[in-house]
A and B are shown apart, each in its own frame.
Chain A
Amino acid sequence: MSNDPAPLLVVRDLKTYFFLDEGTVRAVDGVDFAVHPGQVVGIVGESGCGKSVTVKSVMRLVQRPGRLVAGTIRFRPSSQSAQRWPLAPDGTLDLAALDPQGPIMRAIRGGEIALIPQEPMAAFSPVHTIGNQIVEAIRLHQDVDRQTAWEWGVERLAEVGIPSPAQRMRAYSWELSGGLRQRAMIAMALACGPRLLIADEPTTAIDVTTQAQILTLLRALQEQHNMAIIFITHDLGVIAQIADHVVVMYLGRVMEAGPVEEIFLRPQHPYTRALLRSIPSIHTPSRTLLPTIQGSIPHPFNRPAGCPFHPRCGDFVPGLCDRNTPEPVPVSPTQTVSCHLYTGELHGEPIPDRSSPA
Chain B
Amino acid sequence: MANPSQTAPPLLEVQHLCKYFPVRAGLLRRQVGEIRAVDDVSFAVYPGETLGLVGESGCGKTTTARCILRALAPTSGAILFRTQEGTVVDLAPLSEAELRPLRREMQMIFQDPFASLNPRMTLFDIVGEPLLVLGRMRDRQQRMDRVAELLEMVGLRPEYMRRYPHAFSGGQRQRIVIARALALNPRLVVADEPVSALDVSVQAQVLNLMLRLQQELGLTYIFVAHDLSVVKHFCDRVAVMYVGKLVELAPTRSLFFQPRHPYTAALMAAVPVPDPRLRGKMQPLEGEVPSPANPPSGCYFHPRCPHAVEICSQEPPRLQEIAPGHFVSCHRAQELELVGVDAAEVPGHEG
Let me know if A212 and B272 touch, CB within 8 A.
yes
A282 contacts partner chain B, Cβ-Cβ < 8 Å: yes
Residues of B within 8 A of A293 (CB): 201-202, 204-205
Let me know if B204 and A292 touch, CB within 8 A.
yes
The closest CB in chain A to the CB of B270 belongs to A212
The closest CB in chain B to the CB of A163 belongs to B287
The closest CB in chain B to the CB of A283 belongs to B346
B332 contacts partner chain A, Cβ-Cβ < 8 Å: no
Let me know if B199 and A290 touch, CB within 8 A.
no
**A169 CA to B55 CA in the complex, in Å?**
32
Residues of A within 8 A of B130 (CB): none
Let me know if A289 and B272 touch, CB within 8 A.
no
**A135 CA to B350 CA in the complex, in Å?**
50
Residues of A within 8 A of B236 (CB): 287
The interface bits of chain A over 202-238 (1 if a CB of B lies within 8 angstroms of the residue's CB, else 0) are 0000011111110110000000000000000011111
**A215 CA to B272 CA in the complex, in Å?**
9
A320 contacts partner chain B, Cβ-Cβ < 8 Å: no
Let me know if B274 and A209 touch, CB within 8 A.
no
Interface size on B, residues (CB 8 A): 55
Let me know if A47 and B211 touch, CB within 8 A.
no
Let me know if A283 and B285 touch, CB within 8 A.
no
A331 contacts partner chain B, Cβ-Cβ < 8 Å: no
Residues of B within 8 A of A275 (CB): 200-201
**A46 CA to B57 CA in the complex, in Å?**
23
B266 contacts partner chain A, Cβ-Cβ < 8 Å: yes
- Are A241 and B273 also in contact (CB < 8 A) when A289-B211, A297-B199 are? yes
Let me know if A265 and B276 touch, CB within 8 A.
yes
Let me know if B208 and A292 touch, CB within 8 A.
yes
- Are A289 and B208 also in contact (CB < 8 A) when A208-B270, A212-B272, A215-B272 are? yes
B1 contacts partner chain A, Cβ-Cβ < 8 Å: yes
Q: Please choose the segment from B119-127, B185-193, B224-232, B323-331 that sits at the chain A interface, where 4 or more of its residues have CB less than 8 A away.
A: B224-232
Taking CB atoms and an 8 Å cut-off, the chain B residues in 101-121 that contact chain A are: none
Let me know if B200 and A212 touch, CB within 8 A.
no
Interface size on A, residues (CB 8 A): 53
Residues of A within 8 A of B199 (CB): 46-47, 234, 296-297
Residues of B within 8 A of A312 (CB): 201
Let me know if B1 and A287 touch, CB within 8 A.
yes
The closest CB in chain B to the CB of A309 belongs to B201
The closest CB in chain A to the CB of B205 belongs to A292
A276 contacts partner chain B, Cβ-Cβ < 8 Å: yes
Let me know if B272 and A240 touch, CB within 8 A.
yes
- Are A297 and B285 also in contact (CB < 8 A) when A282-B271, A284-B233 are? no
**A283 CA to B348 CA in the complex, in Å?**
9
Chain A nearest CB from B158 CB (Å) reads 19
- Are A207 and B57 also in contact (CB < 8 A) when A216-B284, A274-B201, A279-B274 are? yes
**A296 CA to B205 CA in the complex, in Å?**
10
- Are A240 and B201 also in contact (CB < 8 A) when A287-B1, A292-B208 are? no
B142 contacts partner chain A, Cβ-Cβ < 8 Å: no
**A357 CA to B267 CA in the complex, in Å?**
30
The closest CB in chain B to the CB of A280 belongs to B233
Residues of B within 8 A of A292 (CB): 204-205, 208
Residues of A within 8 A of B203 (CB): 278-279
**A47 CA to B171 CA in the complex, in Å?**
12
**A209 CA to B289 CA in the complex, in Å?**
9
**A261 CA to B275 CA in the complex, in Å?**
8
With beta carbons under 8 angstroms apart, the residue of A276, A281, A296 that contacts B171 is A296
**A14 CA to B278 CA in the complex, in Å?**
34
Chain A nearest CB from B46 CB (Å) reads 15
Let me know if B207 and A290 touch, CB within 8 A.
yes
Residues of A within 8 A of B277 (CB): 261, 265
Residues of B within 8 A of A180 (CB): 288
Residues of A within 8 A of B346 (CB): 283
Let me know if A278 and B285 touch, CB within 8 A.
no
- Are A282 and B285 also in contact (CB < 8 A) when A46-B201, A235-B272, A236-B200 are? no
With beta carbons under 8 angstroms apart, the residue of A240, A261, A289 that contacts B273 is A240
**A237 CA to B155 CA in the complex, in Å?**
29
Chain A nearest CB from B255 CB (Å) reads 11
B72 contacts partner chain A, Cβ-Cβ < 8 Å: no
The closest CB in chain B to the CB of A206 belongs to B57
Let me know if A357 and B350 touch, CB within 8 A.
yes
**A237 CA to B285 CA in the complex, in Å?**
18
Let me know if B273 and A278 touch, CB within 8 A.
no
Chain B nearest CB from A251 CB (Å) reads 12
Chain A nearest CB from B340 CB (Å) reads 9
The closest CB in chain A to the CB of B286 belongs to A213
Let me know if B289 and A281 touch, CB within 8 A.
no
Taking CB atoms and an 8 Å cut-off, the chain A residues in 116-141 that contact chain B are: none
Most B-side CB within 10 Å, residue of A209, A290, A358: A209
Residues of A within 8 A of B283 (CB): 212
Let me know if B57 and A280 touch, CB within 8 A.
no
With beta carbons under 8 angstroms apart, the residue of A209, A216, A294, A297 that contacts B56 is A209
User: Can you offer 26 A-B residue contacts whose CB atoms are under 8 A?
Assistant: A178-B288, A180-B288, A207-B226, A208-B228, A212-B285, A213-B284, A215-B272, A216-B284, A235-B272, A237-B229, A237-B272, A240-B279, A241-B276, A241-B279, A261-B277, A264-B276, A265-B276, A274-B201, A276-B274, A284-B233, A284-B349, A293-B201, A293-B202, A296-B171, A297-B169, A299-B169
Besides the contacts A234-B199, A286-B253, what 9 more A-B pairs have beta carbons closer than 8 Å?
A207-B57, A212-B284, A236-B274, A241-B282, A274-B201, A282-B268, A289-B212, A293-B205, A357-B351
For the complex of A and B, 5 pairs with smallest distance between CB atoms: A280-B233, A237-B272, A212-B284, A212-B270, A207-B56
